[in-house]
Amino acid sequence: MNEELLMIPGPVPVLPRIRNAMSKPMIYHRGEEFRAMYEEIVATLKWIFQTRNDLFVLSGSGTCAMEAAIGNLVRKDTPVVSIANGKFGERLVEIGNRYSDNVTPVNFEWGSPIELEEVKAAMEEKHPQVVTMVHNETSTGILNPAEAIARLTRKYNALFVLDCITSIGGYEVPVDDWGVDIAIVGSQKCLGAPPGLSAISVSERAWKMMLGDNDNSESRERPYYMDLIAYRDSFEKGQTPYTPALPLFFALREALEVIKEEGMAKRVERHRRLADTLRSAVTNLGLSLFPRLNDVSAYSNTVTAIKVPEWLDDAHLRGGMRERGVMVAGGQGKLKGKIFRIATMGNITEGEVSRTIQALESALRG
């Protein structure tokens, strides 16, 4: 209770046992002890991703994995359709534009649901080789229809890159069943670990595109530090191509152990239950949830976006909550000052959600 409670969409509060894991003595990152730890981490992440695809851990945050996904797949002339209805969908557009001159954004208003017919029309017109989307858009508190978009991308024979940075670990995300070619997650979100690591899964279809028909991988212009071919080659030796952030690997292994102990089904249900509790409390206090939804979208179970009431300034509202020991996030970009966001991700409990609701109610009273 004496610590400030972080109820923001990452980094999330880290359990003491996970924090303690970072104090372990350093080990040789080319030795057998690291190999065993890395293989254990990857095996657990594959279970969480529900994938048999290759999977690697990058010493970099979620944006590092976003760029790894795009930079390894895309050439200057690669046609890309990039779906965006929030800040992080637009970030995928920006990254795509760094690597391809042929990116078609399919933009929707922030907080508006993705319209499948508009996406379908863009695919029919542009014949993309790659389609990108954010699964859980934390800037607006909306869950996008990943499974439906995956079906469309397969229909048009494109590769699907899905940002699951804030959904994997809090939702069931069956990467293989949906047909996601590249999926990514960040350590400091639903996995409940400290920030600084990300993980990326890569399908056989994605490898074929990266390598090219003639396996001319050396001729490809790919990121150096995030070269996934280098990660694949190094993983065969139980290593990463460059020095890993060892304390964060120790913490991630412990965080994944917590997930195994809880079980994914119970973890997903806890995220859903806590989000429902928070949304119910917010509306009972007379506040309005932000996104406008249709039948292909849903409110996020890992972050709730709430309209700032007209009679109260955003800074005073969030400042009042912080005075009571709870930090929540404001709106980003064009939503700054218009919404605030409360996360329910990672290892958050009923008690912490209750404390947050009490702080919000008190701040509203002034």
Q: What is the CATH number of the domain that holds 33?
A: 3.40.640.10
| Number of independent structural domains in the chain | 2
60 and 193 inside one domain: yes
240 and 160 inside one domain: yes
32 and 100 inside one domain: yes
Region 206-222: mean pLDDT is 72
Mode of pairing for the β-strands spanning 142-143 and 136-137: antiparallel
246 and 227 inside one domain: yes
Predicted local confidence at residue 2, as pLDDT: 73
Counting DSSP H helices and E strands in the chain, the numbers are 13, 15
- Average confidence score pLDDT of the chain: 95
222 and 283 inside one domain: no
DSSP for 12-54, written as a single string: PP--HHHHHHTTSPP--TTSHHHHHHHHHHHHHHHHHHT--SE
Which range of residues forms the domain containing residue 353? 5-11+264-365
Q: What is the pTM of this model?
A: 0.96
* CA separation for the pair 223, 288 (Å, rounded): 43
Judged against a pLDDT cut of 60, whether residue 219 lies above it is answered with no
Per residue in 53-111, pLDDT (tens digit) is: 999 999 999 999 999 999 999 999 999 999 999 999 999 999 999 999 999 999 999 98
Residue 308, domain CATH: 3.90.1150.10
Listed residues 258, 286, 313: the one ending a domain: 258
Per residue in 169-180, pLDDT (tens digit) is: 999 999 999 999
Q: How many CB atoms lie within 10 A of CB 256?
A: 23
Predicted local confidence at residue 366, as pLDDT: 79
309 and 221 inside one domain: no
Mode of pairing for the β-strands spanning 103-107 and 303-307: unpaired
198 and 70 inside one domain: yes
Listed residues 200, 223, 258: the one ending a domain: 258
Lowest mean per-residue pLDDT among 213-217, 299-303, 352-356, 361-365 = 213-217
Listed residues 235, 258, 281: the one ending a domain: 258
251 and 274 inside one domain: no
